[in-house]
């Protein structure tokens, strides 16, 4: 998909348009720093212009809002990404809503949430569920008429995932069930899934017995668990018990790998979409 995108970026650049992404990072959260670095590297490889703006943890909300306004008006920048989580003293919603919808490549502004919900293709689809959908499409896993069960109802993953799978088109037309922490007897629901998508942030929560034999399992979770045998002292695991699940599943995504790289790819796609819509080409 990144190779496909290279052609599109070359076409835009030949017309004098270089899609640009600004990433804003407040504080020094280790995982966030890594994510932002990976996004910058992906932009470089794809030939996108990018800026990473690193702010001190004590940055005030007013200062951050001022920066967003500056980026909203900056013609080199077509996409703005505010890396979450933000420090506690900053109202994340207020900041995300200040990003102009035309540059909201994360798809968190209510205007884009609404557009995605009604299937308006000019809306920006949040990168993680968009990546999951494309992963299914490119793997030729037909979602039409399938029962997709999503575990997790966050605004970043679970809810937009449901909206995308419900749409009438490729990677859509599924019958969708969404589970959350108050779902009763969750195993009886997950076992009904032809496609099981898990995004809860609980290490190895989904075990083999929760999966219908042959189901497609997409593990969105990224969790650090202590592991003294590694150099870093931890390792990354998903929300699914991979070793057990892969014995039962028809197809499964690994962690790390799988959804993570797709998320970054779709962020690049959204930035290119933003540049195209801005230039009206
Ligand atoms: P979140 O905002 O914390 O939401 C978690 C959701 O899981 C909530 O809806 C919660 O239900 C539900 N939940 C928690 N415990 C549950 C349980 N025992 N049974 C059923 N549902 C339960 O998390 P998120 O931002 O969506 O992220 C989820 C995971 O995906 C995390 O590990 C995160 O690191 C990972 N992630 C990965 C990527 C990527 O690119 N690979 C991107 C985004 C997120 P309630 O609403 O009832 O509380």
Please report, in tens digits, the pLDDT of each residue of the chain (281 residues total): 999 999 999 999 999 999 999 999 999 998 899 999 999 999 999 999 999 999 999 999 999 999 999 999 999 999 999 999 999 999 999 999 999 999 999 999 999 999 999 999 999 999 999 999 999 999 999 999 999 999 999 999 999 999 999 999 999 999 999 999 999 999 999 999 999 999 999 999 999 999 999 999 999 999 999 999 999 999 999 999 999 999 999 999 999 999 999 999 999 999 999 999 999 99
Q: Whose CA is nearest to atom 16 of ligand 1?
A: 181
Is 2-102's fold the same as 127-260's?
yes
Report how far ligand 1's centroid is from the alpha carbon of 49 (Å): 31
Atom of ligand 1 nearest to the CA of 158: 26
Q: Which CATH number fits domain 2-102: 3.40.50.9100, 3.30.2130.10, 3.40.50.10860, 1.10.357.10?
A: 3.40.50.10860
Q: Is the CB of 123 under 6 A from ligand 1?
A: no
- 39 catalytic per annotation: yes
pTM beyond 0.75: the answer is: yes
Q: Which two tokens stand for residue 191?
A: 């076992």
212 is catalytic: no
Q: Which atom of ligand 1 is nearest to the CA of 201?
A: 32
Superfamily of domain 127-260: NAD(P)-binding Rossmann-like Domain (3.40.50.720)
Q: Is 146 left (phi over 0), alpha (psi -120 to 50) or beta?
A: beta
> How far does the centroid of ligand 1 lie from the alpha carbon of residue 91, in Å?
20
Calpha distance 275→212 (Å, rounded): 42
Domains of the chain by residue range = 2-102, 127-260
Q: Is 182 in the pocket of ligand 1 (CB under 6 A)?
A: yes
Distance 228 CA to ligand 1 centre (A): 26
């Amino acid at each position: 998909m990144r190779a496909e995108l290279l052609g599109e970026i070359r076409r835009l650049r030949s017309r004098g348009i270089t899609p640009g992404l600004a990433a804003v990072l407040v504080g020094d959260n280790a995982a966030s720093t890594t994510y932002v670095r990976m996004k910058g590297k992906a932009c470089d490889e794809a030939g996108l212009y990018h800026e990473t703006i690193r702010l001190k943890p004590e940055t005030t909300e007013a200062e951050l809002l001022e920066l967003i306004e500056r980026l909203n008006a900056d013609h080199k920048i077509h996409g703005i990404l505010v890396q979450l989580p933000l420090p506690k003293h900053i109202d994340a919603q207020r900041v995300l809503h200040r990003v102009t919808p035309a540059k909201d490549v994360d798809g968190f502004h209510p205007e884009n949430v609404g557009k995605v919900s009604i299937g308006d293709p000019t809306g920006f689809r949040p990168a993680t569920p968009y990546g999951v959908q494309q992963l299914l499409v490119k793997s030729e896993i037909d979602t039409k008429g399938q029962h997709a069960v999503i575990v997790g109802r966050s605004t970043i993953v679970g809810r937009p995932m449901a909206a995308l799978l419900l749409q009438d088109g490729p990677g859509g037309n599924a019958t969708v069930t969404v589970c959350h922490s108050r779902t009763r007897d969750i195993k009886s629901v997950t076992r009904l899934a032809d496609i099981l998508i898990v995004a809860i942030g609980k290490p190895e929560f989904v075990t083999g017995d929760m999966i219908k034999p042959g189901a497609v399992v997409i593990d969105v979770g990224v969790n650090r668990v202590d592991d003294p045998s590694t150099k870093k002292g931890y390792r990354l695991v998903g929300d699914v018990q991979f070793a057990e699940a892969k014995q039962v599943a028809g197809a499964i995504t690994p962690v790390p790998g799988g959804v993570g790289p797709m998320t970054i790819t779709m962020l690049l796609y959204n930035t290119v979409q933003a540049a195209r819509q801005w230039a009206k080409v």
